[in-house]
Homo-oligomer: A and B are copies of this chain.
Amino acid sequence: MNARSGRPALTRPDGTPVRVLVVDDDPDLAEVLSGALRYEGWEVRTARDGASAVAGARELLPDAVVLDVMLPDTNGFAVLRSLHAVRPDVCVLFLTARDAVEDRIAGITAGGDDYVTKPFSLEEVVARLRGLLRRAGMARQLEEGPRLVVGDLAMDEEAREVTRSGELIELSPTEFELLRFLMRNPRRVLSKTQILDRVWSYDFGGQAHVVELYISYLRKKVDAGRPPMIHTVRGAGYVLKPVAR
């Protein structure tokens, strides 16, 4: 069982919580990240530089590491080598500035690791991590697949494909992330703030009004002409529900 009730957690094969090390020199960002990962039911530890990252990894023996490429003392790649020395099969998710060295990252990620560019949304980080862990055989049997289903609505996270009763629905990146968040929390009212904090980048300064706008976009594509699955709860937020039988 997850911290987030009702949804099964992604765990290690023996049932113990997945262990993740977060390495970033911005303490606020590290705090937000580790909060989100703990919310997934995972065990989290933070480090703010390369040295303490390696030390932390030795203690925690993490299954995955979220690693900022730009660190005060070293760069991420040196840390990566040390990490692989500690635990060869560790998954690494790099955090990197958009304009920086994408080619070098590409070389690294060929090995099965992955990266996201700053500024990112928490949904994206969590989704990538889940993908990495799943591929590393971390899923507790069958219950954790790359496929989300709510009623006749289905999402293949890896193929980035969404269908409703078999019909393919094309979504923009933000629409996709919003729908993923909704589908990962079916039958639960989500406030606009929750959605904003989770689906939009952490540096987004805008109003909750965008959420309304994107809900409106989603409705046009997901609910179009069909019995609605996205419901407004006035004064509270939005819910995704399978249509009542």
A interface with B by C-beta (< 8 Å): 3-5, 27-28, 31-32, 34-36, 38-39, 44, 77, 80-81, 84, 88-89, 102, 104, 106-113, 115, 122, 134-137, 146, 156, 158-160, 172-173, 187-189, 191, 193-194, 196-198, 202-205, 233-236, 239, 241
- Classify the secondary structure of A's interface with B: mixed
- CB distance A3 to B110 under 8 Å? no
- CB distance A104 to B193 under 8 Å? yes
Pick from B108, B134, B235: contact of A197, CB under 8 Å: B108
- Distance in angstroms from A107 CB to nearest chain B CB is 4
- Distance in angstroms from A142 CB to nearest chain B CB is 12
- CB distance B197 to A109 under 8 Å? yes
Interfacial chain B residues near A84, Cβ < 8 Å = 31, 34-35
- CB distance B35 to A112 under 8 Å? yes
- Copies of this protein in the complex: 2
- Distance in angstroms from A37 CB to nearest chain B CB is 9
Identify the closest chain B residue to A194 (Cβ): B109
- CB distance A4 to B158 under 8 Å? no
- CB distance B39 to A111 under 8 Å? yes
